[in-house]
Amino acid sequence: MHVMMLGLSHASAPVEVRERVAFSGQALAMGLSMMVSRPAILEGAILSTCNRTELYAVVSSPEEGRSALRAFILEERDLPAEIFDQFFYFLEGDAAIRHLFRVSGGLESQILGEGQILSQVKDAHAAGQLHRTMGAVLDSLFRFAVTAGKRGRAETEISRGAVSVSSAAIELAKDTLGGFDGKAILILGTGKMGELAAKQLPSYNLSKIYVANRTLESAERLAERVGGEAVPFHAMQDALERVDMVVCSTGAPHYVLTPSEMEHVIASRNGKPLLMVDVSVPRNIDPAVGAMPGITLFDVDDLQWVANKNRTERQAVAQEVEAILDSEFKGYKTWLKNFRMTPTISSFRNKAQDLREQELNRFWDRNAPAFTPEQRQLIDSMTQALVNKFLHQPLTSLKGMNTLQQHHHASALQTLFDLKVEDFQEHYLRRQGERRTMPLV
């Protein structure tokens, strides 16, 4: 049983590669199902954002796991082998675990300390639970990672100020335009990215804020919150003719603005320049639009200069976050060590419980009439408390030992108490099978 991660990110691959690998919506659900259908993959989770797609897995062996994850991503995303070899990375064991903690803490983000990644880690955890592709190992790993991310933000200043891809997009636009005074902007898309971008705008001296979305009601809600005007998606061409800049993130898996759709807009603008920032992955604005006259088009990879500036300013705080992540990493490693003791601990508990019930049943066979139901309940509770007291110290000591000590004392417990202990691998696989076949509530 080994923890493994396969993925790519903004640090290893450009946006035109990342958008080919991204999972969302039904593709995510299908991907999770197909991922764990491979015999070597015992548990699976997919973290997919604008800047990374990473597969986290518990595998039967490192060699089989590598092969299974590679085959899955190549087949599921229809990728040529040369793309995989050039842009993907594998991490195993402690390296994979530490990486997820750093991702959750915002230390692997393009914008150091950005807050949205923590929500995305939570979403990946929830998806794995919903589709039952997670077992105890990944479930606990993601719980510890989320706690680490929360602590990093609560106990340091890593997330102070505006820290997100959206805020970087606004900063890039402001710098390119030389300020926002008297400018008009169109926010295209009201998802998380669009909402984060729009929230920053009321503090600037903009002449107009337009909000467009396929669902007009969503556009109206966001426009009302930022003092803007909602625009029907099918009628946004009028807004495109008036604005100075566009920030686009619709969540659509395809281009929503192409050269053919922009030709009339450009003609109507009479040479007035238009800045467009597309922070979507997959991209929502055809890159060919950027070559049209008067158009300046940035995508998410063009935010790197903002990211570099942010990283320099926050580097000292990042070291404080590292210490918090290390603490939570040690906590997870302790949990993982003790998880391997589950069959021994369960057998020891069951042995003590069986003995209690046997002796209590013998006692009731001889003496039940002499006690009221209330008294019987008190005696039952007292014997259960005695068993719990008896088990507490040895089990606490066992969990506090290192791996070698645990193995030695677990063997002693099995011999001294004649415990029938299930092999850990068999126990783990059996529990995995029970979890996957359990009916949905």
Q: Among all residues, which ones are annotated catalytic?
A: 50
- Helix (H), strand (E), coil (C) string for 54-85: EEEEEECCHHHHHHHHHHHHHHHCCCCHHHHH
- Taking the C-alpha atoms of residue 212 and residue 89, their distance in angstroms, rounded to an integer, is 38
Tokens 């229809």: give the residue.
Answer: 78
For 298-336, b/e burial (b = at least 16 CB within 10 A) is bbbbbbeebbeebbeebeebbeebbebbeebbeebeebb
DSSP assignments along 84-99, one per residue: HHHH-EEEETHHHHHH
- Taking the C-alpha atoms of residue 317 and residue 322, their distance in angstroms, rounded to an integer, is 9
For 209-218, b/e burial (b = at least 16 CB within 10 A) is bbbbbeebeb
Q: How many residues does the chain have?
A: 441
Structure tokens at 196: 């984060």
What's phi and psi for 77, nearest 5 deg? -105, 5
- Taking the C-alpha atoms of residue 398 and residue 263, their distance in angstroms, rounded to an integer, is 72
Say which residues have a Cβ less than 8 Å from residue 228's Cβ, sequence separation at least 6.
Answer: 187, 198, 201, 208, 209, 210, 211, 222
- Taking the C-alpha atoms of residue 249 and residue 73, their distance in angstroms, rounded to an integer, is 25
Helices and strands, number each (H, E), in the chain: 17, 10
- Taking the C-alpha atoms of residue 158 and residue 319, their distance in angstroms, rounded to an integer, is 10
Contact 353, 419 (CB under 8 A): no
Q: How far is CA 53 from CA 21, 283, 286, 418, in A?
A: 7, 15, 22, 48
- In this structure, the strands spanning 41-48 and 52-59 are antiparallel
- Taking the C-alpha atoms of residue 91 and residue 99, their distance in angstroms, rounded to an integer, is 8
